[in-house]
Structure formats: C-alpha cells, structure tokens
Amino acid sequence: MLAVERLRAGYGRKQVVFDIDLHVKEGEVVTLLGHNGSGKTTTIRTILGLLGAQGGRVFFRGEDVTRAGSRHNVHRGMGMIPSERFVFADLSVLDNLLLGGANEPDPAARRTRMAMVYKLFPILRARSSQRAGTLSGGEQRMLSLGLLLMGHPRLLMLDEPSLGLAPMIVQQIFDAIKELTVTEHLSVLLLEQNVGQALRITDRVYVMRSGRIILEESAEQMRARDSYWDLF
C-alpha cells in the first residue's frame, strides 16, 4: 500500500527527516513511535504531499507520488488526521460527515459510508444535530475519524489519536481503528507516544529518533521488551 524509500524532508534549510525507509501493507497497522520532535509528523506530512520531499521516493498503491501533491494523493486514497482536533466546529456533526463525503457522486454510496461511521461510533448518530465544536474531546476525535472515512480512504495516517483523551475513550478509538483494518481492509500508519495502546493493535513498529528510523520490529518483539526507555 505504501513504500517510503530514503525519504529526506525538512523546512527550508533545516533537515528534519534523514533517509528513512518504511512500508505499510494492505490491512496492516504500522506504528511509528518516537518522542516529540523526532520527525514523525514531518514524515507523514511529506508522504501526503503537504510538504515537499528533499530527497527519496514515496510509492502509494504502486505509483510514485513523491512529487504528486496532497490533492492527488487524497484522491488516490490517502487520508491524514493531525494531532489537533480536526473538525469544522461551527457545523453540525451531520454536516461535517456530509462534507467529508462531498466528492462521492453516488448518494447511495454516501449513505452506506455514513451508516458505517454511525455503526463504528454510535454516539455520533445521537449527536448528529449538535455543533461539532460543542462535542467532548473524545467525540471530536471520533468525528474527525468519521469525516475522514466518508472520503473512502485506503490509507489512514493518524497523528497522536490518543492525545489528551481519557483511557476509556482511547481504547474505544483504537478498537475502531483495528476493526477498520478487518472490515474495510484499510491500512493504518499510526504515530503515537502511548506505547501500550499502540502495541495492543499494531502489527509492526518503527522507532524514530532525531529524524532517523533506528529500529523496526514486530509488535510481538516489541511487547516482549522489558523496557522501552532506551529506545527514546
């Protein structure tokens, strides 16, 4: 689904990401672990095309999209949720979801996607007429994921979905992410600092430090470690 080869990225003359390689298979959850400032967000912004690559290549569904730009990549099936609560605060929950599915010309397909979102997060159906900005933090995170799903992505890139949320809400959201890989065959690139929750649903792990990938392991190998502190 996604292959990144020797990717370099940064801001102006400041290089932040140094020759990283990673890949995500169809239906796989891959977690990119690292502390704040390690380069995780810069990596996915470059993959999506929001930030121009300084070197290396990005392949998505077999196509070289290194210079394609975010508009093209979204239409091809990439989707990203930033660490901030990304919703349209002044619109209702329903209007947020309708906006997420605006590029789908088939009304029946939009209804099917919305039914899937409501099944995944029943609270959104109950809050459908409520302004998104008045939702709790966890409900806004669910809505941002629902909004993204309305666009029928094939790859979800999620930046710190657990940030600032209660443990019970985090568990619910992570369960939903894992379910999507099974029911929708979606691929997920997850950026996280919550190691315990990430390892509960992930298949493979990359560890990033100071803009470089320093380790790739299976989730099973990572769970067998006595401590993670030496990695960060």
Q: Using alpha carbons, list the distances in angstroms from residue 212 to 2, 68, 159.
A: 18, 24, 18
Q: Cα separation of 13 and 35, whole Å?
A: 22
Considering the domain 1-77+154-232 in this protein, what is its CATH number? 3.40.50.300
Residue pair 203/221 in contact (Cβ under 8 Å)? The answer is no
Say if residue 83's pLDDT is above 90: no
The answer to whether 1 and 24 have CB atoms below 8 angstroms apart is yes
What is the chain's mean pLDDT, rounded? 91
Q: At which residue do the structure tokens 């919703």 appear?
A: 87
Contact 33, 219 (CB under 8 A): no
Q: What band does 104 get if pLDDT is binned at 50, 70 and 90? A: confident
CA angle 110, 115, 118 (to 5 degrees): 125
pLDDT at 214 over 80: yes
Q: What is the pLDDT of residue 230?
A: 66
Q: What is the model's pTM?
A: 0.90
Q: In sequence order, which ranges of the chain are alpha helices (DSSP H)?
A: 40-48, 70-76, 93-100, 107-120, 122-126, 137-150, 167-183, 195-201, 219-223
Where in the chain are all domains bearing CATH 3.40.50.300? Answer: 1-77+154-232
